[in-house]
Amino acid sequence: MEEYYKQKKVNKKVNEIKTFPIPFDLNQVWEDISDASNSLTKEEIIHKASRFHSEGNTSEAAKYYRYFIDQGFNDHRVFSNYGALLKSLGNLQEAELSLRKAIELNPNFADAYYNLGNTLKDLGHLQEAELSLRKAIELNSNFAMAYSNLGNVLKDLGNLQEAELSLRKAIELNPNFAMAYSNLGSVLKDLGNLQEAQLLLRKAIELNPHYAMAYSNLGIVLRDLGNLQEAELLTLRAIELQPKFADAAWNLYGLSNNVQEAEERIYHYLKINKNNLNAYISLSALKLHQGDPLLFYELMESKHKNHAWMRSIQWVSTLPKLPKIFFNRWCFFDNAIKESKQDRPFYEFGVWHAMSFKYLMNSLKKGYGFDTFVGLPEDWHNVKQGTYSAEGIIPQINGGTFVAGKFEDTLPTFFAEPRPVASIINFDADLYSSTLCALKHSNAIIDKHTILIFDEFITNNNWEQDEYKALNEFCRNNNYTYEVIAISYITKQVAVKLLGF
């Protein structure tokens, strides 16, 4: 994992402020402001500019801010507010310069560090953003918004546990802070704590019924909980509140029930975000599965042919028969259950918080789950050992039998005695080594009817080196082939049946 706490100097000197282009005549600014300056003090004029800013009148606020700057006034509040205004307009580099000038003028001004941290985050400078927000908190220990935004930065850096602590502190300082509830819900979702995430997001909506992001985030959580109907309604509500909300439109695509509906939704998404490469690649897959490979061929002739999604679709295109396509894991599981021998038990390698296990249990009634319950036993590319830990908590589910420990330690003992042939085996171990170990020991419980589901089979950057590699090696070693019966590019799942018994 990257060194997150590099001591970069964020309050470096800015010797001169850049003259920013403005969409109005400066002479008119002088006429608009000079009369007022004769009767108002400098403080009163600053207050007036700030009032325009807080009311959303950015044009008038910008006029006042620029007037002060061009007249050579040095006031840290003006530079900080002007920087925040420039950020809101998307002028991030200019915003950064203005905010650094504010910090130069007053190194103890928490608001400037806060605004700078937010700007650096948008610029993609996450480590510097973290340091700037921490400085804002050091200067103002009750700065709830700084704690909330620090939580967002830490989430983007992959430090979910610390992000959770920062967001909980924001809520402690401001119990009515809807954005912090929504952001914390998003972090807890990534940590696998879906039930509390749902409660927090509902609280965010209660506090702000017009908060589109909270509806969208809650839709994601409910999707992951298997409540697809309400997830779709919430996502549609997010889009209603914010019609150009690209992330919500993408999530709606992931809730599609069939290829035609998915195509309609991806076209809608592209109207909002026409530069998203994954959307075009997804569209090429949808068209391919409907018998129109032209867009796929066009992309294969482009510089994007080695993109992970393109490599995944290319693999699918070489199969003897195109598999069914799905857009979320629960519809994918429903199809597998429907095609399985439902009087048999299922097996799952990689349980984590048992969401998939519980879903399969609803239909198949008996299952066996295997996991360390303390996270990955080794690094998985850029994902560190110990990630996806259930903190050692083993689920208690009626009909479920769970075996804790590394596969190489537990599976030989478990399969030393005869076990029932499987209806479904869900391989969610991620790692090549763990998946291959699980496949080897599962050989005796697989027949021509058993459906093998792989949870991280495609679309990851290194997918050919993980579950895909394990399955192909297992089949070579046992003289099997396989038929791919279902696929989901969005959730990375592939379902197969083995041939050659």
pLDDT along the chain (501 residues), means of 10: 30 31 35 49 69 76 75 80 86 92 95 95 95 97 97 93 97 98 96 94 98 97 94 97 96 96 96 93 96 96 96 97 96 97 98 94 96 95 90 94 97 97 97 98 97 97 98 97 97 97 86
pLDDT of residue 52: 76
Q: Using the 8-state DSSP alphabet, how is residue 6 labeled?
A: -
Check residue 45 and give its pLDDT: 64
Tokens of 475: 């089949």
Q: What is the pLDDT of residue 405?
A: 97
Q: Are 269 and 281 in contact (CB under 8 A)?
A: no
In this prediction, residue 22 carries a pLDDT of 32
Helices 259-272 and 246-253 meet at what angle, rounded to 10? Answer: 170
Token pair in block for residue 269: 């998404």
CA angle 197, 242, 270 (to 5 degrees): 100
The reported pLDDT for the residue numbered 453 is: 98
Closest C-alpha among 351, 341, 345, 339 to residue 365: 345
pLDDT of residue 21: 33
For residue 247, give Cα distances in angstroms to 126, 242, 276, 346, 447. 21, 11, 11, 35, 41
DSSP reduced 3-state for 454: strand
CB burial readout 250-260, b (16+ within 10 A) else e: bbbbbbbeebe
Is the separation of the CB atoms in 375 and 388 below 8 Å?
yes
- Residue 455: name the closest of 385, 365, 359, 390 by CA: 359
Across-strand partners of 498?
482
How far apart, in Å, do the first and last CA atoms of the chain sit?
44
274 vs 342: CA distance, rounded Å: 44
Burial class (CB in 10 A: 0-12, 13-18, 19+), 383: middle
Q: What's the pLDDT score for residue 55?
A: 79
Which residues, 6 or more positions from 267, have their beta carbon under 8 angstroms from its beta carbon? Answer: 283
SS3 labels along 353-414: CCHHHHHHHHHHCCEEEEECCECCCCCECCECCCCCECCCCCCCCCCEEEEECCHHHHHHHH
Give me the residues paired with residue 495 across strands. Answer: 453, 486
Q: What SS3 state is found at 463?
A: helix
Q: Which of 150, 148, 193, 192 is nearest to 168 (CA)?
A: 148
SS3 of 75, please?
coil
Task: Give the integer Cα–Cα distance in Å for 114 and 80.
Answer: 9
Predicted pLDDT of residue 42 = 66
- The whole-angstrom separation of Cα 364 and Cα 419 is 16
Give the three-state DSSP class for 485.
strand
The number of CA neighbours under 13 Å toward the Cβ of 443 is: 15
Q: Domains in the chain, please, with CATH?
A: 1-140 (1.25.40.10), 273-318 (no CATH), 325-499 (3.40.50.150)
pLDDT at res. 15? 29
Q: Indicate the DSSP class of residue 261.
A: H
Calculate the CA 445 to chain-centre distance.
Answer: 36
Distance (Å, whole) CA 470 – CA 433 = 7
CA distance 177 to 188: 17
Q: Which residue reads 């279902």 in tokens?
A: 486
